[in-house]
Structure 1
Amino acid sequence: MRNSFMGKKEQIKFEIFKTIVFSKSGLHFHELMKKYNLTKSTLSRYVHDLVKEVEETFSGTVQLIQNSQTGTYQIQTKEAYSVGYLIDYMHLFYVRKSGIFFILDTLLKKQYKSIEAMALDLHMSSSSVYKQLRLLKEMLIPFGGKISFDQLSSPLTGDEIGVRLFSFYSYWSVFKSTAYDNKNYPETWLQIKEFEQYFDHADSLSESQQSKLRFIQLITLRRALWQKNYITLSDEFLADIAYFDNKELEILPLLKKHLTKEQYQKERALLLYGVRGLIYNLDSPETKKKIVEQYQYSSLEIAKSTANLMDEIKKEFNVTYSEEGYYTFYFYLIILLIYIKHVDIDISGYYRNGLSFHSIIDYDDTNEETFQKITQIIQQQAFYPKIKRQALSGVLPILSLTIYSGIYLNKKAGSLSICVIFNDNLILADGIKKIILDVYNQERIIFTNDVMLADLVISDSYEIMNPQTEHFYFDERLNPEQWGKMIDMINQLLYQALFSN
């Protein structure tokens, strides 16, 4: 993650911790040395620190140990913690230790007349505060934000939408679903029941979805009510996002009570559009369809741009849109195109694992060509020259991945043809077929009696078949490993079939 709130040393230790957490049987010292290109003495210091820091973070319920028998480093827990819990809380420990987020959090809560006054209040040297502020200023640049100690209601100034986005991504990247210290704000500011009830899936939102909604509400209330920083939206921006407000339900009544009617409507419109781009799956398929249809029936230029882009994708890649696939693709695409048109900020630095095309599940040479074609199509769109140069390197990958995902959503999956022949126990062949269909999608599996037409032959005897056909020699029906190996082979072949068409 480019915009990390951790120091370099903390980042390396955090990566080492994650590597050990994900390892099934632990990792040897020399494996860690090689992976992170560290000297023996440096890694020894880091591991020594990690042992103490893991103990401190989890109050002794989690420990980093070296297995006395294998010599590997492993994570040992006294309770059943999930991987996500371990990683997120260890990340939070290092962020708090680094200090830079502490400075940001303080700036968002308090106003100081000068850097010296801030340093005095925080019991830090002025030089340390200057250093942290310099790093924060660099992180704010893409968001159009600045840090000012003039007599203003907030030290974070500049583009208001940019400042709010920066605040959201900062808090989310640091805390995610972990506990956030709320002692500086009214308790009601983090109660989201009224806000979440607007959305179809309010009763089933996960902890991470609720956490995102909570941060969005907190930032909005703080900027608008506490610090009197209001958003400015053009009439065109308001028109482009109007259809995301599709219910009469009230949201954030505190805003409505204290803001003018015009300002409240702007805040409401931005919120109901913004949360759809920041939080997954708030709406039912029916609501997404309703929103999309309103755009389709409108005369908005952004709606025409979305439809035209989807038509070009359809022609170039020979895509046959399913009804659900079309509405889903359109829904997410228009959210992104509105963002590019009116906000156009590169937020890729807050993706913890980056936005490399190579990280997608089925990336190969064919898909490299696909992404090249997608890039060419994007570059031919009327909106492309209007993307800010400083945002292009982040916006283009996100748009390309969105388009690729839309293609995949509407892609007809391949199938696997299997011939099962069992000579030792005749009924067992039907038993094998039953097990395969219990495990896999029946639309993806085709059974055939013709060995020459099969992609995979499962048999207890040698069979003459096409050279490209795979053969699983199944001769130990009472051996559980044989069943496992059969499933593994089907997994591999079905994976290839699913992603090769």
Structure 2
Amino acid sequence: MRNSFMGKIERVKFELFKSIVFSKNGLSFNELMQKHGLTKSTLSRYINDLVQEVEMTFGEKVHLIQNTQTGTYQIQTTETYSIGYLIDYSHLFYVQKSGVFFILDTLLKNHYSSIDAMALDLHMSSSSVYKQVRALKEMLVPFGGKISFDQLASPLTGNEVGIRLFAFYSYWSVFKSTEYDNRSYPESWWEVKELEEYFDHMASLSESQRAKLRFIQLITLKRALWQKNYIEISDSFLADTAYFDTKDTELLPLLRQRLSNTLYRKERALLLYATRGLVYNLDSLETKKKIVQDYKQSSLEIAAYTTKLMAEVQKEFDIDYTEEGYTNFYFYLIILLIYIKHINIDISGYYKNELSFHSMIDYDEANVKIFRKITKIIEQQEFYPKINKKSLKGVMSILSLTIYSGIYLNKKAGSMSICVIFNNNLILAEGIKKIILDVYNQERIIFTNDVSNANLVISDSYEAVNSDAAHFYFDEQLNPEQWGKMIDAINDIFYKTIFLA
């Protein structure tokens, strides 16, 4: 990530830790050295550091060890931890070791008259604080924010929506759903029950969804109530986001009690739009349908843009929209087009690989053509100059990927044909078919007796298959590994014939 709060050394050690965590049987010294492009002496030093830092992070409940039999480096735990837990808390440890986020968090909690005053309070050298503040200033630039030591202004000034977005992505990228020290804020600010109750899925929200809502609420209350930084949004924004307000219920009573009607209306509009764009799956399909229908029936320009874009995508890629596919595509597309029209900040620095498609899809020649067509469609839209004017590659990437995903949501899935022949135990062939149908969607699997028409032939004997078919030689029915390898073979064909078709 471009906007990482880690220093270079901490980033490398964190990546080393991740490589070891994700490896099933551990990684050797040479494998780590080659994978991360490190010298022998540098890797040795980092490994020694990691051994101590892993124990510091997890209170000696997690250890980095070298297996005495294989020589590979492995993670050993005294309790059962998920990979996500290990990675997120390790990430937090290394972020806190570098200084940039510490300075940001301090600026959001306190107000200083100068960098020297801040350095004195934090028991740091002025030169070190200057360095961290300079890095933070660079990160704030795309969001239209600045750092201020003016006693009459808040520490972060500038584009208020941009600053709030920066604060959200910063805190979320650092803490995710790990624990954040909230002692600097009233306890009620972290209670998100009122915000949750507005949405359909409040009873089944995950910890990461709740964590996102907490950060959104905290940032909103902190900026609006403590620092008196109010958002400036246009009547056009209020009109374009109106249909995301689906319930006539009070939202964040603290805001309602302490802000004027005009300011509260703006805060509410931004909250109800932003939560949909930042937190996944808050609404039921029925609510999404209502929102989409309201936009389609409106005279809003943004709705016309969305409908036109979807029609052109449908024509170019010969899509037969399903009701659910159309609803989800429209819902996420209009959120993004509103973002482009009114906010248009490039947040790609907070994404791994900076939104490279290579990590998300099999980026082969066919997909290159698809994305070229998508780009051409976007460039012909009336709103494109808004993106092109600022050369916002990240915004363009998100829009392209959203359209690609919309195409896939409405793509009719194909099928694969399997021929099963078992000569050693005749009824076992029927058992294999039953197991395959228990695992996979029955509409996507077609069994055939014709070897020449099969995508995959499963047999305990050699079969003369066509050049396009795969042959899985299955002659050890009592060996559990054979069954696992058979599923792997089906997965491989399934992916190529259905998902990449």
**C-alpha distance in 2 between matches for 1:424 and 1:29:** 46
**C-alpha distance in 2 between matches for 1:454 and 1:371:** 31
Bigger drift between 47-56 and 443-452 goes to 443-452
Q: Structure 2 vs 1, CA of residues 410 and 260 (structure 1 numbering), >3 Å: closer, same or farther?
A: same
Match in the other structure for 2:46: 46
Match in the other structure for 1:70: 70
**C-alpha distance in 1 between matches for 2:241 and 2:300:** 10
Match in the other structure for 2:352: 352
Q: Alignment partner of 2:282: what SS?
A: coil
Letter in 2 for 1:57: T
Match in the other structure for 1:9: 9
1:377 to partner: Cα distance:
1.0
**C-alpha distance in 1 between matches for 2:477 and 2:66:** 40
Is 2:138 the partner of 1:138?
Answer: yes
Bigger drift between 403-412 and 383-392 goes to 383-392
Q: Alignment partner of 2:468: what SS?
A: coil
1:465 to partner: Cα distance:
4.3
Is the 1:255–1:264 Cα contact (8 Å) retained in structure 2? yes
Q: Alignment partner of 1:269: what SS?
A: helix
Is 2:421 the partner of 1:418?
Answer: no
Letter in 1 for 2:472: F
Is 2:95 the partner of 1:85?
Answer: no
Match in the other structure for 1:168: 168
1:380 to partner: Cα distance:
1.1
Letter in 1 for 2:201: H
Letter in 2 for 1:73: Y
1:499 to partner: Cα distance:
2.1
Is 2:379 the partner of 1:363?
Answer: no
Q: Alignment partner of 2:198: what SS?
A: coil
Is 2:453 the partner of 1:446?
Answer: no
CA deviation string 1:76-120 (max 9, x = no partner): 111101111111111111111111111111111111111121111
Match in the other structure for 1:335: 335
Letter in 2 for 1:58: F
Is 2:29 the partner of 1:29?
Answer: yes
Letter in 2 for 1:70: T
Match in the other structure for 2:202: 202
Match in the other structure for 1:253: 253
Match in the other structure for 1:220: 220
**C-alpha distance in 2 between matches for 1:484 and 1:109:** 54
**C-alpha distance in 1 between matches for 2:408 and 2:97:** 42
Is the 1:142–1:391 Cα contact (8 Å) retained in structure 2? no
Letter in 1 for 2:434: K
Within-5 A mapping of 1:58-137: 58-137=58-137
Match in the other structure for 1:298: 298
1:388 to partner: Cα distance:
6.0
**C-alpha distance in 2 between matches for 1:76 and 1:104:** 34
Match in the other structure for 2:280: 280
How many aligned positions are there? Answer: 501
Letter in 2 for 1:412: K
Match in the other structure for 2:474: 474
Within-5 A mapping of 1:380-459: 380-387=380-387, 389-390=389-390, 392-459=392-459
Bigger drift between 120-129 and 386-395 goes to 386-395
Q: Alignment partner of 1:265: what SS?
A: helix
Letter in 2 for 1:173: S
Normalized against structure 2, the TM-score is what? Answer: 0.97
Segments of structure 2 that go 5 or more residues without pairing to the other structure are: none
**C-alpha distance in 2 between matches for 1:210 and 1:169:** 15
Is the 2:238–2:269 Cα contact (8 Å) retained in structure 1? yes
Match in the other structure for 1:149: 149
**C-alpha distance in 2 between matches for 1:473 and 1:131:** 62
1:455 to partner: Cα distance:
2.0
CA deviation string 1:155-176 (max 9, x = no partner): 1000000000000011001111
Letter in 2 for 1:117: A
Letter in 1 for 2:81: Y
Letter in 1 for 2:79: E
CA deviation string 1:466-492 (max 9, x = no partner): 332333333333333332232222111
Is the 1:164–1:220 Cα contact (8 Å) retained in structure 2? yes
**C-alpha distance in 2 between matches for 1:342 and 1:107:** 27
Match in the other structure for 2:239: 239
CA deviation string 1:389-419 (max 9, x = no partner): 4451110111111110001111111111122
**C-alpha distance in 1 between matches for 2:189 and 2:397:** 35
**C-alpha distance in 2 between matches for 1:361 and 1:120:** 50
RMSD, aligned CA: 1.3
Bigger drift between 235-244 and 36-45 goes to 36-45
1:464 to partner: Cα distance:
4.5
Is the 1:111–1:153 Cα contact (8 Å) retained in structure 2? no
Q: Alignment partner of 1:354: what SS?
A: helix
Q: Structure 2 vs 1, CA of residues 438 and 316 (structure 1 numbering), >3 Å: closer, same or farther?
A: same
**C-alpha distance in 2 between matches for 1:458 and 1:445:** 14
**C-alpha distance in 1 between matches for 2:434 and 2:321:** 32
Q: Alignment partner of 1:494: what SS?
A: helix
1:66 to partner: Cα distance:
1.1
Is the 1:320–1:411 Cα contact (8 Å) retained in structure 2? yes
**C-alpha distance in 2 between matches for 1:500 and 1:75:** 36
Is the 1:64–1:73 Cα contact (8 Å) retained in structure 2? yes
Q: Alignment partner of 1:223: what SS?
A: helix
Letter in 1 for 2:271: L
1:41 to partner: Cα distance:
1.4
Letter in 1 for 2:395: V
Letter in 2 for 1:435: I
Percent identity reads 74
Is the 2:191–2:214 Cα contact (8 Å) retained in structure 1? yes
1:220 to partner: Cα distance:
0.1
**C-alpha distance in 1 between matches for 2:375 and 2:342:** 21
**C-alpha distance in 1 between matches for 2:319 and 2:152:** 54
**C-alpha distance in 2 between matches for 1:465 and 1:49:** 55
Letter in 2 for 1:431: G
Is the 1:344–1:391 Cα contact (8 Å) retained in structure 2? no
Letter in 1 for 2:215: F
Segments of structure 1 that go 5 or more residues without pairing to the other structure are: none
CA deviation string 1:412-457 (max 9, x = no partner): 1111112223333332222221111111110110112333322222
**C-alpha distance in 1 between matches for 2:335 and 2:362:** 25
**C-alpha distance in 2 between matches for 1:257 and 1:42:** 58
1:151 to partner: Cα distance:
2.1
**C-alpha distance in 1 between matches for 2:53 and 2:460:** 55
